[in-house]
Amino acid sequence: MGATPVQRLFAPIKRITPRWASDAIRSVGTAALTPFYFSARSGHFKSSFRRAAVSSKGEPLPWYTFPCIDFLRLRNFSGRSVLEFGGGQSSVWWGRHAESVVTFEGDKGWYERIRSGMPRNVDLRLVTGTTPEARVEAIRSSLEAMGNRKFDVIVIDGLDRRQLVPVACERLAEGGIVICDNAEGYGFHEALKGRGLSRVDFYGHAPGVILPHSTSIVFRGGSWVFEHDAAPIRVEYGW
């Protein structure tokens, strides 16, 4: 692995200054530059100004934590089906990575805003209903019209998170995963209890958000998403 631009910049300073001075410069530089480096390379900086989850190149990202995004982007979702509760940038991202996406959105204004930018393989549906129970019933009815269709990836990132956990479990394909964003709240923990599911938490910062939170991947038994035999790679945030 070659030296980074920062390492190359620091190399002459290290050669011409006493050890105590170069160590102090390195410590101060690391403390000051790391937040800016992370924000710029990950897309956090650009997302903050656009008020939308994007990479450093402006490409759509799911509004999950960066550790979860990094995990998902290394997996192959071609041929896989996705069910989303809550649409947006993630719908575009999944549309570019998976075979098909069905997305339910409960905010009419937001639905109208995002629907024109959806890829052809994203089926964006508006959910009506003034109560969580009514919205969940509308989603169930819509899914029942699809027959016994199961989904490889189910995302709960909007709408009525806790109330939609049972629906997600019913529609989860064998070996599939449920992605729960903001999993530290919304009653996720209580709703998932006693369902025979395993959980992996990806805690960290998300695009354009100040405080860290958790995006969790939940699965039953084993899941193909964890069958990854490639060697660890260096994550480059220019994607």
What are 124-156's pLDDT values in tens digits?
Answer: 999 998 899 999 999 999 999 999 999 999 999
Q: Is 188 within a domain?
A: yes
Q: Give the Cβ contact number of residue 48 at 10 Å.
A: 15
Q: Is 110 within a domain?
A: yes
Burial of 98 (0-12, 13-18, 19+ CB in 10 A): buried
3-state secondary structure 133-192: HHHHHHHHHHHHCCCCCCEEEEEECCCCHHHHHHHHHHHEEEEEEEEEECCCCCCHHHHH
Task: For the chain of 239 residues, list the mean pLDDT of each consecutive stretch of 10.
Answer: 62 74 74 82 91 92 95 93 96 97 96 94 94 95 96 93 94 96 90 92 94 94 79 47
pLDDT at res. 113: 94
For residues 56 and 183, what is the distance between their CA atoms, to the nearest angstrom?
26
Stated pTM of the model: 0.85
Query: How many domains does the chain divide into?
Result: 2
**Same domain as 78, residue 20:** no
pLDDT at res. 221: 86
For residues 178 and 138, what is the distance between their CA atoms, to the nearest angstrom?
20
For residues 194 and 69, what is the distance between their CA atoms, to the nearest angstrom?
27
Beta-carbon contacts of residue 98 (< 8 Å; ≥ 6 apart) = 77, 78, 80, 81, 82, 121, 152, 153
**Same domain as 197, residue 85:** yes
Question: What 3-state DSSP class applies to 65?
Answer: coil
Q: Is 87 within a domain?
A: yes
Beginning with the edge strand found earlier in the chain, give each strand of the sheet holding 122-126 in spatial order.
122-126, 100-105, 81-85, 151-156, 172-181, 213-219, 198-204
* Parent domain of 93: 52-226
**Same domain as 190, residue 90:** yes
**Same domain as 190, residue 106:** yes
**Same domain as 109, residue 34:** no
**Same domain as 30, residue 68:** no
